[in-house]
Amino acid sequence: MSNIIVYIGIMLIVWFARLIALFIYPIVFLFRRNILNFAFKNIKEDFINHQYSIKKLPKWKIYINPLFWGFLFTTGFNSEYEGPVWYLKELKEKWKPYSKLQFFWLCYRWQGIRNGAWTFTEWFFREGTVTDVTIKYENTVEPLPLLIMPYAKFKDGNGEYRDNSGPYIRYSFDVDNKYQDWMCTHEGKKILIFKTYKKKERFEYALCKIIETKLFFLVLEIIFGWDWWDGNIIFHFKLMPKIRDYKAIADYRKYKRLYYK
């Protein structure tokens, strides 16, 4: 129960920060290169334990610098301001080369709306790599490795990975090897209990379901708690209709033959 109260409190702060991001991101966009240079110079990230720390300056000097607060409203140490290749792929291909306004809109969609205040959440609430992982509950269509959760992933008509924005469902048989289990859809329900790098006992709940209708495939995904990957707060809710054409139906029939018993 205490974890649920903590989770709700953090989510309220995060949602408020994301609301602020809608208004502050245009300013952050104007200073994006200065912000990133400032971050590389003064902040380091432990990519093993997934924690931020300050390099040399006293903490108070970092916290009074507007560029630091600008950094908190970006997506961290990367210059993909408009998001990775798969994000809004068709629109990017249509617009290339981008006008300044088009480039801003893509960046705003990625950093201001979809991932608003991403680094703010990581800086203040990410608890780091998890240990002592146990499965509290699991009921999945496929047998899953310990740290693979039920969730939905997608692809385009050419089979290319599109994370959570593609028109077709990406199944286990679409991946090249077992190390890409996290890049495809898994149906079922699972609850993990673990300790984070900061020695907090946390949980992650995930539910994913594919529903076939006469008009489309409906994908339901619910994930909340703390992400086992980096101990960051997480909330996903998707109720997404996906294409139901010959290719989608053939994929789904193959999936059912392979995994439904």
Q: What is the pLDDT of residue 61?
A: 92
Question: For residue 156, with 0-12 CB atoms within 10 Å meaning exposed, 13-18 middle and 19 or more buried, which class applies?
Answer: middle
> Looking at the 3D structure of the chain, how many domains does it have?
2
Residue type (1 letter), 95: W
Same domain for 194 and 95, yes or no, is no
- State whether 142 and 158 are in the same domain: yes
The predicted-structure confidence for 13-48, as pLDDT tens digits, reads as follows: 999 999 999 999 999 999 999 999 999 999 999 999
For residues 61 and 119, membership in a common domain is answered with: yes
- pLDDT at position 91, please? 93
Please tell me the predicted confidence (pLDDT) of residue 132. Answer: 93
Last residue of a domain, one of 125, 160, 188: 125
**Model pLDDT, residue 226:** 97
- Residue of 161, 182, 162, 184 whose CA lies nearest to 172: 184
The parts of the chain modelled with pLDDT lower than 50 are: none
Asked if 33 and 123 count as a contact pair (C-beta separation under 8 A), the reply is no
pLDDT for the residue numbered 176: 81
Domain co-membership, 37 together with 138:
no
**DSSP E strands: which ranges in the chain?**
43-46, 51-54, 131-140, 154-155, 168-169, 188-195, 201-212, 217-226, 233-242
Beta strands 201-212 and 154-155, pairing class:
unpaired
Query: Which of 125, 149, 181 marks a domain boundary?
Result: 125
pTM for the predicted model, two decimal places: 0.91
Please check whether residues 253 and 136 belong to one and the same domain: yes
3-state secondary structure of 36: helix
CA 164 – CA 97 distance, rounded (Å) = 25
Give residue 259's pLDDT.
Answer: 87
Beta strands in 23-123 (DSSP E): 43-46, 51-54
The rounded distance, in Å, linking the Cα atoms of 149 and 212 is: 21
Report pLDDT for 84: 92
Q: Write down which residue in 125, 149, 175 finishes a domain.
A: 125
Asked if 210 and 218 count as a contact pair (C-beta separation under 8 A), the reply is: yes
149 shares a domain with 106: no
Q: pLDDT at position 260, please?
A: 81
Q: Residues 136-153: pLDDT tens digits? A: 999 999 999 999 999 999
Same domain, 55 and 18: yes
60: containing domain: 2-125
